[in-house]
Amino acid sequence: MHTLPRLGCISLLNQYYKSLSVKQITQIHSQLISNDLKQSPTIIAQLINGYCASSSSSSSSSSSSTTSSATNYARLIISQFYGHNNVRNPYILNVFIRCAPPTDSILAFSNWVSKSALNFDDFTYIYVLGACARRAKTLWEGFQIHCRVIKHGVLTNIMLQTTLVHFYVNSNAFEFANKVFDEMPERSVATWNSLIAGYCSRKEHAKDGLLLFLDMLVGDCGVMVNDTTLVCALSAVSRLGYLETGVGIHGYIIKTMRDAENDVYLGTGLVDMYAKCGCLDAALNMFTRMRCKNVMTWTAMVSGLAVHGKGKQALKLLNEMTESGIVPNSVTFTSLLFACSQAGLVKEGLFLFHEMKTKFCIVPLSYHYGCIVDLLGRAGHLDDAYEFIISEKVESDEVLWRSLLHACRVHNDIAMGEKVGKILMSKRDKNLVGYESIEDYVALSNICASAARWEDVAAVRDMINDKGMENKPAVSTVFRLG
């Protein structure tokens, strides 16, 4: 890189930091050092932002070494800044925690806690709790941060309290999320949405999410529901299948003059809700009236058609989608392949799988392979399903083999069933015990029993006993009426 004037370096960082590589940022960094701008907090913050942005883009490209070097450069800048300056303001560290990948953010915060060199502010805790919320299995770390917040008496910021609710919800710790929520003297719409979204995203808590939505709607909470609240409520209705509630929410949207036909997120939520609640015509009507559609809208409609066994309509919708300029994504193809499987469209499904890889350059994931194995298995093409698993080199996926084993039993193919059953049993961990490891043996035993091969059934049962495995007992619930 040629020598750039000071303003040129700063302008590059401001405008193009998201698209610059680590090498390019290090070159700009060198120019800034040469121009003696290395101690300016604003410029240092921009450098850290650039390094973290290049780290994020590298991680999405699976380049772990580049990601590591980018964050290492950013950490080095922080250490040098605080080492050369008698500064206790956490501004520079806050920038790193906000921009870096979650793991790096949490580690950086932990390191500076042990040094006791900085006076952390509300933003420090907001950003590090946000990092914990984005990373799985960080409940213990979040607990410690929460305790530190209480100890230092800074739990008065509504943004910080809302972030705590969001963190606990993402960690599936709803008891703690509710406790923080209930103790808040003031709540914003973001606070309500954080808790409602957490409840509504899980089927087992979706009903509680709707009740909380109702409290917000009719209670004296001081805030009004917004589009995000309504989308969350519609997702809960979709999970529960409460059509009347969904229609009521739709009526509220119309009554409050929200134009769902122009709001892509509300419109998509309504399409998804009506389709999953069994009203396919209402979903299609809403979909047709929507003036703005994105890939989620099209995918929701394709998924609705798939669930209702409308495979050919779903494939037709794919053509309309591409003609409108919307590129299908991985989830769209999952719904399309599922539609083909439900409708028995073998040729169409195989062609679609090929198009997904070649035309749309989408790398197949386990559920795509599962849809094809299920498609071939339902149609009785068991040999083709077996060859598909081998040719695609996904033999290590036990779910695919179990799907094929089930198809063997349905179609009474004993020879293929034995072959697949032995493959599954050979993959079992020898140290794995308990009822979880018995399912493949039981399936093979049932296949042999369906062919009246009682000696083979006895042999499989002896293997089960020799390994000390136990079957999980069935449970039946009897309701007493009257």
CA distances (Å), origin 100, targets 29, 80, 115, 218, 313: 18, 18, 20, 40, 44
Least confident of 277-286, 354-363, 379-388, 451-460: 451-460
Q: What is the 3-state secondary structure (H, E, C) of 142-161?
A: HHHHHHHHHHCCCCCCHHHH
The total number of residues shown for the chain amounts to 482
Domain limits of the chain?
190-289, 293-357
- What is the structure's pLDDT at 441? 67
Helix, strand, coil percent values for the chain (each to nearest 5): 70, 0, 30
Q: Pick the residue with more confidence: 459 or 53?
A: 53
- Which distant-in-sequence residues (6+ apart) come within 8 Å of 289 by Cβ? 261
Sign of torsion, CA 158 159 162 168? negative
Pick the range with the lowest mean pLDDT from 36-45, 80-89, 319-328, 367-376.
36-45
**Residue 45: its pLDDT value, please?**
83
Instruction: For 201-237, write each residue's pLDDT tens digit.
Output: 888 999 999 999 999 988 777 788 999 999 999 999 9
Q: How far apart are CA 219 and CA 212, in angstroms?
A: 10
Ramachandran region, residue 241 (left: φ > 0; alpha: ψ -120 to 50; beta: rest): left
Lowest-confidence region among 19-23, 138-142, 205-209, 214-218? 19-23
DSSP 202: S
pTM score, whole prediction? 0.79
Give the three-class secondary structure for 291: coil
Q: The tokens of 377 are what?
A: 């298995």
Residues 6+ apart with CB under 8 A from 194: 162, 165, 166, 169
Alpha helices in 324-365 (DSSP H): 330-343, 346-358
For residue 96, give the nearest of 117, 114, 81 by alpha carbon. 81
The answer to whether residue 86 scores a pLDDT higher than 60 is yes
- Cα–Cα distance for residue pair 283/155, rounded to 1 Å: 45
The H-assigned helical ranges of 242-327 are: 243-255, 264-276, 280-289, 295-307, 311-323
